[in-house]
Amino acid sequence: MSVPEPYLGNPQKTIEILQKYKFVFQKRYGQNFLIDPHVLQKIIRSAKVTKEDFVMEIGPGIGTMTQYLAAAAREVVAVEIDKALIPILEDTLEGFENVTVLNEDILKVDIPRLAEERNAGRPIKVVANLPYYITTPIIMGLFENGVPLESLTIMVQKEVAERMKVGPGTKDYGALSLAIQYYARPELMANVPPNCFMPRPKVGSAVIQLIRHENPPVEVKNEALMFRMIRASFNQRRKTLLNSLTNATDLPFTKEELTIALEKLGWPVNIRGEALTLEEFAQLSNLLV
């Protein structure tokens, strides 16, 4: 299949397209378009996109990264929520026969069905420049809803990328760190300054890759219970683990039951949740099931 060379990805071309369609950035969608070809190429290389791959892109914007993905992949489905961008995408992706654009909310798309239809149910690669306001719901939705995933290569706020990969004892460690590390192996691929976007965000960004674990790194009898305990322990992170779990309205354990569990594990009663590893949260929840 013959496709045109990617041509978006620099400020002049982006401005030209936006002016042509009199496009107005929508703050509610957190729109910041990439305008640096080096960063775009870095994302495609990091995602290891090949002609064998079916790729889903979340938030294609004006189609800048979509062009690069289409040139590298077998097939691309790009999901864009803003209907004002659809005519622009029809224009910028006109020469790419292997791209389908869906004007939908990614949180409502039946991705397992798409993977079944377009990729014979095999794991897919997801690539995205995610809006900051909805980063976590999108990522967790992909992991929790049975989507067959090989990897996510995503642009997120730098602070969020750092939270995904840290361990106990750091200020950035929290429920997001544990959830991500339960489902995937996070690897920071690049830091991206604000001047690589239009309009410029107020904060730095980072490309992080999440490689889905074939099997979770810990054995858990009740995943939902473990994550309720994790959320409770970080909702009040300055309190002891014992008090945080006792105060949680969605946990059925008494202070006495929790004290006995901590003693069985040989942990001090004044330990805080931020000191526990994923394996230790699994041990505690398994003991309380």
CATH of residue 241's domain is: 1.10.8.100
Same domain, 227 and 206: no
264 domain residue, yes or no: yes
Name residues whose C-beta falls within 8 Å of residue 5's C-beta, 6 or more positions apart in sequence.
71
Same domain, 204 and 229: no
Same domain, 199 and 276: no
SS3 158: helix
**Token couple for 112:** 């397992």
Q: What is the mean pLDDT of residues 124-130?
A: 95
For residue 68, what pLDDT is reported? 94
Same domain, 121 and 255: no
Residue 6 in this model has a pLDDT that exceeds 90: no
Same domain, 121 and 183: yes
Same domain, 29 and 99: yes
236 domain residue, yes or no: yes
Residue 154 in this model has a pLDDT that exceeds 90: yes
- For residues 82 and 29, which has the higher predicted lDDT (pLDDT)? 82
Same domain, 208 and 112: yes
Share of the chain above pLDDT 70, in %: 98
For residue 3, what pLDDT is reported? 46
**Token couple for 78:** 């790009």
> What's the total number of domains in the chain?
2
Q: Which of 212, 234, 268 is the last residue before a domain boundary?
A: 212
The bridge status of strand 124-129 relative to strand 149-157 is parallel
Q: Which of 167, 193, 212 is the last residue before a domain boundary?
A: 212
Percent helix, strand and coil across the chain, each rounded to 5? 45, 15, 35
Side-chain half-sphere exposure of 134, counting CA atoms within 13 A: 18
The CATH number that applies at residue 113 is: 3.40.50.150
Residue 40 in this model has a pLDDT that exceeds 70: yes
Highest mean pLDDT among 14-23, 50-59, 229-238: 50-59
Residue (of 221, 147, 137, 151) closest to 179 by Cα position: 137
For residue 2, what pLDDT is reported? 43
Same domain, 227 and 203: no
* pTM (two decimals): 0.91
For residue 11, what pLDDT is reported? 87
Cα–Cα distance for residue pair 152/184, rounded to 1 Å = 9
Residue 288 in this model has a pLDDT that exceeds 80: yes
For residue 236, what pLDDT is reported? 82
Same domain, 201 and 233: no
Same domain, 195 and 234: no
Q: Which of 212, 233, 265 is the last residue before a domain boundary?
A: 212
Q: Which domain holds residue 232?
A: 223-288
Q: What is the mean pLDDT of residues 151-165?
A: 96
